Amino acid sequence: MRSLRFSPPLALVLMAATLLLSACGGGESSGASSEALTVYSGRSQPLVDGLVERFEEQSDVDVETRYGTDAQLLSVMQEEGSQSPADLYWANTTGALAQAQQANLLAQMPDSLTQQTAAFQPQSGRWSPVTTRFRTLAYNSEAVDTTALPSSVMELPQLSQFEGRIGWTPTYSSFQDFVTAMRATHGEDSTRAWLDQMQQLNPKSYSSNTPMIRALADGEIDLALTNHYYVLRLKHGGGEGEYEGEEHEEESGESEEESTRPDAPVEMYRFADGNVGNLALVTGASVMRQSRQKQQAQQFLQFLLSPQAQQFAAQQVNEYPVVEGVQVPPYMMPVERALSLSPDLRFRELQDLDATTQLMQEAGLM
């Protein structure tokens, strides 16, 4: 197993090196690269490396993993075109998969893969769900009376008593998916108004969710718009699910025991059933159209949907399984209840990330 990380300047260098090795042929590095299954991953190393190791133990397939954010990987794959070494793309968001599909990067996959999951089956048949996260409103239980919280996230700007005490992560991909879903369910004008009204509450912006949740636990803020597993990670342990960049990995030097705070006064508030504030965020994977190892790529994706891999993801990063019959840790909300909270959206409604980015730029958030 080999792992590489993409960064914006490094990505083009790696791409050029890959093309050069492919053109020259020969040599130990060239031979290993051509035989290995290459996975481009927007998911984190603690999650993916553990699953790759288990897959390699059970199969005769060697795997090379290249890490980057969804945006970085999409850019690299589009630049590489038909010469891309990527055999499988494991994205952090469905929006990224929709963009990859629009760019004609994804292969059609057999029904045995696309119809195996219990929920979130895309109509296109070009990718499969792998895990699920949920948006939530985290709160400091020592400072917040939940009877004062609204039934809809759209009413959050009305809570003037929390001025300067709300945290959010506008530059984070999951937050942008949430805004995209808001645009799809409530319209452009209402979403723009929500962003403007939220800013009048002077919310505190964070570059990622982990420091925001720690600030919530320390009483620096009272509310935080986040994903469910960040709260569980603080109180019960677990790794990061999304690849956030090498700089974030270097910053998180604490051991799991050091970063876990079981008694932290942080809880999750759920909005009414079907509210966009409870949005299900699906990660997914697809075989690449230009891959010359489609059978091996399908084999790896089949492994990701196995009970073993689904259980590992639930235990390692507190994410929900997408296949039936997999138990989640007892501190997690049951799968069926979590699913009932999320609005029902078509995946193609989440693909227009560019319009979301433009809207947030106009709002001064990016």
Cα–Cα distance for residue pair 286/244, rounded to 1 Å = 21
Q: Where are the domains of the chain?
A: 2-131+281-333, 133-279+349-362
Query: 99 near 357, Cβ under 8 Å?
Result: no
Q: Which residue has the tokens 């030097």?
A: 253
Count of CB atoms within 10 A of residue 183's CB?
Answer: 22
pTM of the model: 0.84
Listing DSSP states for 119-162 in one string gives S---TTSS-EEEEEEEEEEEEETTT--GGGS-SSGGGGGG-GGG
Structurally, at CATH architecture level, domain 2-131+281-333 sits in 3-Layer(aba) Sandwich (3.40)
Task: State the pLDDT confidence band at 235, using cuts at 50, 70 and 90.
Answer: very high
Q: Which CATH number does the domain 133-279+349-362 belong to among 1.20.120.530, 3.40.190.10, 3.40.50.1820, 2.30.40.10?
A: 3.40.190.10
User: Across the strands, what pairs with 282?
Assistant: 132
Q: At 11, is the secondary structure helix, strand, or coil?
A: helix
Report the percent of the chain where pLDDT is more than 70: 84
Residue 243, pLDDT score = 72
Query: 119 near 342, Cβ under 8 Å?
Result: no
Tens digit of pLDDT for each residue in 19-76?
Answer: 333 333 333 333 333 579 999 999 988 899 999 999 999 998 999 999 999 989 999 9
Residue 347 burial (CB < 10 Å; 0-12/13-18/19+)?
A: buried
pLDDT mean over 86-110: 91
Task: State the pLDDT confidence band at 331, using cuts at 50, 70 and 90.
Answer: very high
**Residues of 302-341 as b/e, b for ≥16 C-beta within 10 angstroms?**
bbbbbeebbebbbbbbbbbbbbeebebeeebbebeebbeb
Tens digit of pLDDT for each residue in 174-212?
Answer: 899 899 999 999 999 999 999 999 999 999 999 889 999
User: Across the strands, what pairs with 65?
Assistant: 3, 39
| Tokens describing residue 60 | 């005769």
- Residues, the chain, total? 366
Cα–Cα distance for residue pair 328/297, rounded to 1 Å = 27
Mean predicted lDDT score pLDDT of the chain: 86
Element (H, E) at 204: strand 204-205
Task: State the pLDDT confidence band at 290, using cuts at 50, 70 and 90.
Answer: very high
Residue 16, pLDDT score = 39
